[in-house]
Amino acid sequence: MTKKQAATQSVQDYLKRIYELTEDGAPASTNDLARELNIKPASVTGMIQKLAAEKPALVEYQKHQGVTLTKAGRKAALEVIRHHRLLEAWLVRTLGYSWDEVHEEAERLEHVISEDFEMRIAAAMGHPDRDPHGELIPTAELVMPTEESIPLSALRPTQTGIVQCVKAADTELLRFLEGLGLIPGAEIEIKEYSPFDHNLTVKIGRKTTVLGLNITSKIFIEES
């Protein structure tokens, strides 16, 4: 019954990135992983081969075909993601971090907190289901809830909705969006759509702004 020793910090980061890169269903490529992890592709290949060789395997891997997570790998990834998102929520709520500051801190803490700590902060916050960016928090049983909201880029004039989630990690972008009031909970209405450049004119609260696809594809909305 020896509870499979916890993955190292490196392995946890690999699994987390693989999870994110494979959310679209397609395997993650060596190069993509290398870019996300800031590690050279050659090293990524090596690590992936190791993860695929573990028993039970954490990833599924075919040479030159990229990687996907196995069931075991996905559980491990969700554990880290739950830690990360709960930590972000907790740091914002109890220590006044802003949503563009929390990521880095959570990125390191996620690997060292105990399950006890995880439970305590979850309970202290009343078991939140989203982090400060609106990203869904996996349950304690390590199930990722299904995201119902749709990308802002999919909306068209006269549609209205509420911002649920902002999928961005970049500090600059987050500050910019906050300045626009484009944060979870914000009410928006589509005013115009420009089919050539995919720009949307969006009313956020009282302000109206034109947003490009690079932004509208990262904002997720619950239509109303």
Partner DNA sequence: AAATCAATTTAGGATAACCTAAATTTTAAG
Partner DNA sequence: CTTAAAATTTAGGTTATCCTAAATTGATTT
Q: Are 86 and 122 in contact (CB under 8 A)?
A: yes
Q: Does 64 bind DNA (CB under 7 A)?
A: yes
Nearer to its own copies, 13 or 101 (CB): 101
Helices 41-53, 30-37: inter-axial angle, 10-degree rounding:
110
Residue 175 backbone zone (phi > 0: left; psi -120 to 50: alpha; other: beta): alpha
State both tokens at 87. Answer: 């930590």
Q: Are 203 and 191 in contact (CB under 8 A)?
A: yes
Piece of 56-64, 87-95, 113-121, 160-168 that binds DNA (CB under 7 A) = 56-64
Nearer to DNA, 13 or 88 (CB): 13
**Of residues 4-63, those binding its own copies (CB under 8 A):** none
Q: Does 215 bind DNA (CB under 7 A)?
A: no
Our CA angle for 172, 77, 152, nearest 5°, is 45
Our CA angle for 32, 150, 169, nearest 5°, is 40
Q: Choose, by CB under 5 A, the member of 107, 147, 187, 189 that binds Mn ion.
A: 107
Piece of 28-36, 114-122, 169-177, 200-208 that binds DNA (CB under 7 A) = 28-36
Q: Does 218 bind its own copies (CB under 8 A)?
A: no
Q: Are 67 and 48 in contact (CB under 8 A)?
A: yes
103 binds, among its own copies, DNA, Mn ion, none (CB under 5 to 8 A by kind): Mn ion
- Please report, as ranges, the residues that interact with its own copies according to CB under 8 A: 91, 94-97, 101, 104-105, 108-109, 111-114, 116-117, 120-121, 124
